Amino acid sequence: MRQHVNPLSKNFEVIESIPSLNILFDNPKLPLHLDIGCAAGDFLFDLSLINSNWNYLGIEIREKLVKNAQLKVKERKIRNLYFLFGNANNILENHECKFIIENAKSISFNFPDPWFKKRHYKRRIIQPEFINILSNSMQKESLIFIKTDVKDLFNYMDRTILNNLNFVTLDKVNLKSEKCFNPNRIQTNREMYVIENKLCIFERIYKKI
């Protein structure tokens, strides 16, 4: 069941203050992965505990999920994981938050809300303006990962990203394990559900050039 939250609501216009990487993580020099739409954060918890040589930052629009995830991080004393609440578009277009994109080695969009109705396409997380923001601040060679079980959404995301000439597709076979935020191929809850039900998964990797 997908839980819908309107990302265009005025409730998300106010952005919380975000500490520097030195405060967010025990070792800010580790490569940073950003997961947009991280839900309850189960995927990032698994990643952070197995891959201590990466820092992980999740952004989620449902405040209750973020508060619960932040509490778990504190209780488990995990120092390479942090969660932010809010609309990722609003957060990352804010000048004071630009350092997040500038330091991210990779960004993932895992099974984002498809917003099936055409009049709601503007609510989809990947928008041309948002990709431009990422393009203007991401380091060269940094990566974007998309994954969904909705073919129409995949086509939309793929087209939107490739319309920006600063991104090209990257074949999985050319992805070096040391540059991958998920070398053990840990699956999200949604991915496990899709595989269990024998549904199709559409995914692609893009490189900033």
pLDDT truncated to tens, each residue of the chain (209 aa)? 455 676 656 666 667 778 999 999 999 999 999 999 999 999 999 999 999 999 999 999 999 999 999 999 999 999 999 999 999 989 998 888 899 999 999 999 999 998 778 887 888 999 999 999 999 999 999 999 999 999 999 999 999 999 999 999 999 877 877 679 999 999 999 999 999 999 999 999 999 99
pTM: 0.92
Q: For residue 88, what are the CA distances in angstroms to 16, 91, 97, 143, 178?
A: 12, 5, 10, 17, 27
Q: For residue 112, what are the CA distances in angstroms to 71, 171, 173?
A: 24, 22, 25
Place of tokens 């990779």: 106
The β-bridge partners of 150 are: none
Domain ranges of the chain: 30-208
**Is-contact 123 157, C-beta < 8 A?**
no
Residues 6 or more apart whose CB falls under 8 angstroms from that of 142 comprise: 104, 105, 106, 107, 207, 208
Q: How many Å apart are CA 164 and CA 189, to the nearest integer? A: 30
**β-strands 104-110, 55-60 pairing:** unpaired
Q: 10 Å Cβ neighbour count for 157?
A: 25
Active site residues: 113
∠ CA 58-131-39, nearest 5°, is: 25
**β-strands 32-36, 104-110 pairing:** parallel
- Specify the CATH architecture of the domain 30-208: 3-Layer(aba) Sandwich (3.40)
Q: How many Å apart are CA 97 and CA 88, to the nearest integer? A: 10
